[in-house]
Amino acid sequence: MKELFANRVLANDTSDLDEIFKNSANPENISFAGGFPDIRRFPDADLKQAYQTAIDQQGPAIFQYSATEGPQNLRQKLADRMASHAGVTATADNIMLTQGGQQAIDLVAKLLLNHGDAMVVEGPTYMGALAAFDTYEPTYYEVPVDQNGMNIRALRKTLQAHPEIKLIYTIPDFHNPTGTTLSAKRRQAMVSLANQYDVIILEDSPYRDLRYSGKSVPAIKHYDTEGRVVFISSFSKILSPALRTGWIVADQPIMAELIGLKSAIDVQSPNVTLQAINSYLDQHDIDAHIATINAAYRLKRDAMLAALDRYFPKNITYTRPAGGFFIWVTLPSDIDAKQLLETQVLPQAHVAYVPAACQFASRTVKNGFRLNFTSLDPVTITAGIKRLGVLLQANQAVAPVVPLKTAIQF
């Protein structure tokens, strides 16, 4: 029957990932694979109250069809937040609510990408974005990431060599999967390049508010002078992913088209949830809530970094993120992290991570993996990294001596 499936489905092979997440569900394993928030940080009682208040205040009207872009009062709150937290000037008309950041990525891809169209992604990048883009069958150009985010010199070269590129997809704040943040200078340079080469930038920033050290940098959209940056974010990491609520900030004519595309897909996001989020924001100080999350996540990040420093072999490098959910580990160039996971890490150390290959559009880089530090408690984090470190040390003892030449290095 598969021969009946469209090419876009066949191009999209998620079997590796399904396997990883299936294995990490085993309670015997310590899984650093999923990009999950800490379940203990969900404000469930406050959210319950917010749903109740929204329903009580609005009566049956809350259950009616409503505007595709979402309620005006919530869009206005998000416009205000974009100004205060990201340095972005926007009105409520520049905002649309979506079913998570994931739908926002899909909508922008649907707006821009014909089969074979050229786009830039970071190498590595968010695998969920690759899954969304894959269905539009683009031609990917991969630009490496270093400790200051996407390498702008490499981006310039790529745009020079491929002037047909239409879209740059970037995760500038606490990048998934490396945890790195794009410097302000690079943000400005990226916008200049987009202006010069007539490219749209998709700025995907769900981790922006989760900063544990250092100073905030304005959004890339802050530097946008031509309405070519589309900013997306989400309540998934700061409130709860089950709300399935994200938002897009875009100028005209992009916003009008995105509203039309969303209307054709799902008419609107669930109004009850959007009104409940609006009530939550009326009744609670979300920044105070974020501050409590950040304090907890800072401890987890520090626990993971301390364990990595203590238990990992010295020729294995890793990022030291100032926020977000992830640390990226770079192995010696001859080690295939997926093979290591399947043959040793899962069966012997009972630890899971996300190996490099599925996080690269090219699928060619194998010597790295992503670790999540937000979902587990510090004691479990330390125990899991110790198990992994002991295995890697033993592996090194028997591994052939090879020159330390890493495919990617931070």
Ligand X SMILES: Cc1ncc(COP(=O)(O)O)c(C=O)c1O
Q: Which of 23, 29, 32, 35 binds ligand X (CB under 6 A)?
A: 35
The answer to the question of residue 71 lying near ligand X (CB under 6 A) is: no
Q: Which of 31, 94, 102, 178 binds ligand X (CB under 6 A)?
A: 102
Judging by beta carbons within 10 Å of its beta carbon (0-12, 13-18, 19+), is residue 405 exposed, middle or buried?
Answer: exposed
CB of 50 within 8 A of CB of 271? Answer: no
Q: Which stretch binds ligand X (CB under 6 A): 60-68, 94-102, 157-165, 397-405?
A: 94-102
Compute the least distance from the CB of residue 325 to ligand X, in Å: 7
CB of 227 within 8 A of CB of 199? Answer: no
C-alpha–C-alpha distance, residues 340 and 396, integer Å: 12
Measured over the CA atoms of residue 261, residue 263, residue 264 and residue 267, the dihedral's sign is: positive
The answer to the question of residue 324 lying near ligand X (CB under 6 A) is: no
The answer to the question of residue 206 lying near ligand X (CB under 6 A) is: yes
Compute the least distance from the CB of residue 225 to ligand X, in Å: 25
The answer to the question of residue 126 lying near ligand X (CB under 6 A) is: yes
The answer to the question of residue 134 lying near ligand X (CB under 6 A) is: no
* CA 97-99-102 angle, 5° bins: 110
- 3-class DSSP state for residue 151? coil
Which residue minimizes CB distance to ligand X?
Answer: 100
Nearer to ligand X, 246 or 323 (CB): 246
The answer to the question of residue 171 lying near ligand X (CB under 6 A) is: yes
| Largest distance between two CA atoms of the chain | 70
Compute the least distance from the CB of residue 99 to ligand X, in Å: 7
The answer to the question of residue 271 lying near ligand X (CB under 6 A) is: no
Compute the least distance from the CB of residue 248 to ligand X, in Å: 11
The answer to the question of residue 70 lying near ligand X (CB under 6 A) is: no
The answer to the question of residue 384 lying near ligand X (CB under 6 A) is: no
Measured over the CA atoms of residue 82, residue 86, residue 89 and residue 94, the dihedral's sign is: negative
Which helix or strand (DSSP H or E) is residue 300 part of?
helix 286-311
Q: What are phi and psi of 157, to 5 degrees?
A: -60, -40
The answer to the question of residue 368 lying near ligand X (CB under 6 A) is: no
Exposure b/e, 200-237, CB count within 10 A at least 16 = b: bbbbbbbbbbbbbeeebbebbbbbbeeebbbbbbbbbb
Nearer to ligand X, 248 or 335 (CB): 248
What track of x and - describes contact with ligand X for positions 229 through 268 (by CB under 6 A)? -----x-x----x----x----------------------
Nearer to ligand X, 276 or 316 (CB): 276
* Residues lying near ligand X in the complex (CB under 6 A): 35, 100-102, 126, 128, 171, 176, 204, 206, 234, 236, 241, 246
